Amino acid sequence: MTRPGMSKRALAPDSDPARSSLSRQNSIYRRTMAVCDELADAALGGADPVRLTEVFAHLVGKRVVLLDAAFRLRAQAGGSDALPGLRWNRTDPSVDRLLRALEAARRPLRIPAIPGSLLDQACLVAPVVVRETSLGYLLVLDEAGAAGGYATAPDDAEFLTVTYAATLFALTLAHEQTSAELDLRYRASLVDALASGHFLDIQDARRKARSLGLRDGAPLRVAMLRPLPADSNWVTRIPAVLPGAAAVVRDGALLMIVPDKPSADALAALCQMGPEVTCGVSEQVISPELVPRGVRQAERAIDLGLRLGRVGLPVHYDELGIYRLLCTIGDMQQLMGFARDVLGPLLDYDAQHRGELVRTLSVYLRHHGSHKQSARMLHLHTNTVAYRMARIETITGLNLSDPDDRLVAHVAVKIVESQGSASVDGSLR
């Protein structure tokens, strides 16, 4: 309602700013909704985080970077030049302050470039969170201007767009994480079924193997890690270390079905997943229904490896030699009885005199009766080895020149070593 004496023309200067502000807000809203609608269509269409990053970068016309919760690069798209190295680390004070601010605000923040810090490029960054769980960070980098500054800072529309985009990225990453967890559980159930022999027949076992991605007729092996790795990220690390491996936690150990002939480097990396983690590897399993036998072999490989001083190392069942035969007998009391019949006086002599005659005998037999090779392994003079071997023959009554006596002595030494004493050089011959 106008006051008397006031014309409509007089209202124009006051109303024009209001109309201009409203028009600007409508423009921001339309721009935001246009971007959000296209991004939502991509997400609902099944776009993964990499594709969603590409779509978002195209819509906003800037470089977009997606980092995971540990600041590792998940995806990046857009931009006219090479991606600068993003070296975020919470130990950097500027990064730590940023993360604290994001945790408190739970919305996008404008970050100016801080020369000399890890935040050396201006950007708009939004936390990607589901409830209280951080899944990563969404960055929209400012384009560099001609003078080295940043020419296109984010406006209100971009703040709103990034807020909405962070929500879509959170849903996409959560879906990816859930799908990955379900896939791991399914694969674990298949491994457990094959390891336990819980399949209807040979064809059912082979169907389960195919579901794990194993080709019909392709040989495989069973690997076991014990104790269970302390590394909580083993679920994600194992496929990276051993592509194609499927794992399940079983009886306090990590049991895996792996492609045939895993590399030595991969097995060594598995053993490094925790302190004193030992890896037992079965011989080649030619068909999925034979996986239970492979499980037993992997268990025996670990047991013998621990007794033979191979803690924290890979132990291959098919490289155990005579130890494989010994561990199939089962009655260790009977085996030790045989060993004592052959080497009892020598064992007693070493115990009473803190001697190393049993160790000397082991090295001598392993090196085919060579005094010279044995002396080098034991760091002794050749005459000392010859003297010890004469003492061994006197104490045991063995004639080590006789092939039968040498065989009996070698088996007895292997039995003694398999019950907890490491061989001199840690080898499993």
Quick check: 343 and 413 in contact, CB under 8 A?
Answer: yes
The answer on pLDDT for 421 being more than 50 is: no
Question: Which CATH architecture does the domain made up of 197-320 adopt?
Answer: 2-Layer Sandwich (3.30)
What mean pLDDT do residues 47-53 have? 92
Domain ranges (residues) in the chain: 20-80+87-170, 197-320, 328-418
Task: Measure Cα distances from 189 to 185, 192, 226, 382 in Å.
Answer: 6, 5, 20, 58
> How far apart, in whole angstroms, are the C-alpha atoms of residue 307 and residue 317?
14
* pLDDT of amino acid 286: 93
Which tens digits make up the pLDDT trace of 187-221?
999 999 999 999 999 999 999 999 998 888 889 99
What mean pLDDT do residues 259-284 have? 90
Give the range among 32-36, 66-70, 113-117, 200-204 with minimum mean pLDDT.
113-117
The answer on pLDDT for 154 being more than 70 is: no
Alpha carbon distance, N-terminus to C-terminus of the chain: 104
In the CATH scheme, what is the code of domain 20-80+87-170?
3.30.450.40
For residue 227, say if its preceding peptide bond is cis, omega within 30 degrees of 0.
yes
CATH class held by domain 328-418: mainly alpha
Task: Spell out the SS3 assignment of 329-389.
Answer: HCCHHHHHHHHHHHHHHHHHHHHHHCCCHHHHHHHHHHCCCCHHHHHHHHCCCHHHHHHHH
State the chain's mean pLDDT as an integer: 83
What mean pLDDT do residues 33-46 have? 86
The answer on pLDDT for 91 being more than 90 is: no
